[in-house]
A and B are shown apart, each in its own frame.
Chain A
Amino acid sequence: MSHSETYAEIDRSAYTNALAKCSPITKTFFALSALIICASVSTIIVPVVIFITCTILVLSLAKVKACLYFNLFVYPTYMLVLSCIFLALFFGSGTTIAEIQLPWFTWSIFKNGLSMSITTFLRVEGALSCLFFLVLTTSITDLCVLLRRVHVPQVMVEMSMMIYRYIFLFLEISEQMSLAQKLRLRRSGWLSSIRSLALLIGSLFIRTLDQGERTLVAMNARGYDGEIRILEDFVSPRKLVLLGIVLFDVLLIILLFLTLNIGVV
């Protein structure tokens, strides 16, 4: 999948998944509470439980395609693995588990360094699964309405709504422009491809200014006065589900304390 296809797929999933009609409050509450628990303490069992729960929710309850869901993990995991190798090799103190004799010094790998590396890996993957759950099941519109309800500044919500709308419009325009360049035999050399890209970016920039102007005129024609009002209309959460999430969080915290002393290595 190309990048733009992945974005479009994520967007499509947010509107068409089986949990799309579920209240955004419920989904955000679940994802954020699990995220906070996952990220706050360094143990190994709780992040694994959270990862498994989110994966089950995304795949079997929201019925998102497995390949889309796991694809999202690929890039962050690259970065994460690199950082974790770094953590394991160069951090920590105290008990060592391995000592490598090099000609000029002794390289020690410490027990708590390795443990930190593994817990960090699990915590990040667990936290990512919470975020991806939210991203794949909740539409931007719902999130914006929610942000407005919790009194995030108006201007930020307005900007996010419009940026979201125009990302897709300009993505389409830039793809058309790029295709038009290719069809007119854009040369494939490095220098000329940079030149074509510069042309594309330049004309896209002019397009955005032009589009902004025309959209403003159209908004004025419907009585725009400098403030975009959002229709605060969404499904209110089911109390039983909210209670279930609270129970789940309490269980996680109990599990957290029970497993606090389980070492990694």
Chain B
Amino acid sequence: MIFKLEKLSHRYSDGTLALDEVSLNFTRGERIAFLGTNGSGKTTLLNHLNGILKPTSGSIYFEDKPLAYDAKSLLNLRKRVGFVFQDPNDQLFASSVKQDVAFGPLNLGYTLERVKQLVDDALTTVGMTEFADKPPHFLSGGQKKRVALAGVLAMQPEVIIMDEPTSSLDPIATSDILHLLLRINKENGVTLLLATHDVDMVPLFADKLYILNKGKIVSEGTPKTSFSNTELIREVNLRSPRIAHLFEVLKKENGLPIDNEFPLTISEARKEILRLLEVTKEQIKKS
């Protein structure tokens, strides 16, 4: 158990209750997605896990120890739990890519040699080595996002939190970032937590999905089980992935023999269509 939240609530100073008694557990190495509309509390929840926000009530345990908010414990937490912000312009403040990526490791007090090595490794992982000496304003949105991720990777965290990793990116940049995240998870065993409202991206990425609505967790499970509850999905103003929606319509309007767990990705849909074709062939043979 890497993170454990118990009845976590957060009320902003203007009175909005952004989180309402959220209780969760995460295991090491998981890929977890938080899905919800704007203002559902995703970002507020994630901001608690890296010590940016303090809970109004309830408690957070990191490796069974409650979070402490003194400078030393926070530095120790932030070394192990990295946070990639939604807008890379908030995060990239240094005058060159290399200086920005080096910021985190230098704060951890590593030697110059070690920092250089970590910066090189992080930039290689995200494929931005050739931009090391360029200033951030030379980069495109997707490139900035990758540099922001490198800045967190260079601190070698065990958990990476990303707020809307694919918002305002073009399709190629989106798929690049996703593949990069999956690779980091597989090769380095990094636990990934991400907040998104991109429903089509969730099944490609997550093995665990939480749906938030008005500061509460309303659904918890694999993407497959969560998206099969179509009434709930509509109730919280989300929608199913396009592919699942297609199969739902085929089942309801055309009466095709499809189970309630609709396929969510292209490969699952392909399997399901081939199965349906087999079924129809057999029916034709019988008649």
Contacts and interface: CB of A to CB of B under 8 A. Distances in A.
Interface residues of B, number: 40
A172 B99 CA distance: 22
Contacts of B78: 220-223
B256 interface: no
A141 B50 contact: no
Interface string B74-94: 110011001101010111111
B137 A228 contact: no
Interface in A214-261: 214-215, 217-225, 228-233
Interface string B87-129: 1011111111011001110111000100110010000000000
B285 to A, nearest CB: 63
Given A139-B96, A223-B104, A231 B115 contact: yes
Contact of B95 (A165, A211, A218): A165
Contacts of B52: 217, 220-221
Which size class do A's interface residues fall under?
20 to 34
B106 A231 contact: yes
A144 interface: yes
Given A11-B135, A221-B50, A169 B99 contact: no
B71 interface: yes
A168 B136 CA distance: 9
Contact of A141 (B71, B96, B108, B152): B96
A140 interface: yes
A169 B89 CA distance: 8
A69 interface: no
A161 interface: yes
Given A218-B91, A223-B78, A231 B99 contact: yes
Given A221-B50, A221-B83, A225-B107, A140 B93 contact: no
A91 interface: no
A164 interface: yes
A121 interface: no
Contact of B90 (A141, A144, A211): A211
B216 to A, nearest CB: 25
A20 B135 CA distance: 13
B133 A15 contact: yes
B136 A229 contact: no
A223 B95 contact: no
A225 B75 contact: yes
Given A217-B52, A225-B75, A168 B137 contact: yes
Contacts of A98: none
Nearest to A164: B95
B134 interface: yes
Contact of B99 (A217, A218, A220, A230): A230
B91 A233 contact: no
A12 B138 CA distance: 9
A162 B119 CA distance: 20
Nearest to B87: A214
B104 A141 contact: no
B44 to A, nearest CB: 13
A223 B75 contact: yes
A225 B106 CA distance: 11
A218 B90 contact: yes
Contact of A222 (B98, B103, B138): B103
B151 interface: yes
Given A218-B91, A225-B107, A233 B152 contact: no
B135 A222 contact: no
Contacts of B83: 218, 221-222
A220 B104 CA distance: 10
A144 B95 CA distance: 9
Interface of A: 11-12, 15, 20, 139-141, 144, 161-162, 164-166, 168-169, 172, 211, 214-215, 217-225, 228-233
13 contacts: A15-B133, A139-B96, A144-B95, A161-B95, A162-B93, A218-B90, A222-B151, A223-B79, A224-B103, A228-B103, A229-B106, A229-B107, A231-B102
Given A222-B155, A231-B98, 7 more contacts: A139-B95, A139-B96, A141-B99, A161-B99, A164-B95, A165-B94, A222-B82
